[in-house]
Amino acid sequence: MRQEKLSGAQILFAVVAIFALAALVFAVQSNRATESNQAVAGIGATGDTGDTGDTNPTTPPTKVKVNSTKKNKKKGTATIKGSVNKPGKITLYGNGIKKKSVTKKAAGNYKLTVVAKGKKKKTLNKKGKVKVVAKIKFNPKAGKNVLKKKKITLVKK
């Protein structure tokens, strides 16, 4: 029996083919495992469990609106007015802003005052205006937390 020598390219091709075949077998096996796990977990074909994170499925999604901002040029502050659709805690914070919070016992309107602090306050007093990003976090009693950001230029004259 005569043995033929294989070239380096032929050996490389054989090795790549073996790895590709192994990867294909692994992908098929893992796909079967994923399908069976999804069936056990109750996940549909789209991957959606239908869970919105709320404990009560009839609860509407959490919403926070920023209706208006009004600047007080004499004090160098701004007032944010808005509304929420659930009871909970509304917190105003951000870089260079004094942290403030309001607790609402029912859905309705809120009012928060943006006041500069630290370097932002120094810039406001020196130059007469400063840009800040106010973050409004709503932590409802039932549902997911919501974060809104609002760019505001504080002006002091």
Tens-place pLDDT, residues 65-82: 899 999 999 999 999 999
Encoded amino acid at 71, one letter: K
Per-residue pLDDT, averaged over 111-137, amounts to 95
Q: What span, in angstroms and rounded, lies between the C-alpha atoms of 58 and 62?
A: 12
Tally of residues, the chain: 157
pLDDT of residue 76: 95
d(C-alpha 26, C-alpha 34), whole Å: 12
More confident residue, 62 or 56: 62
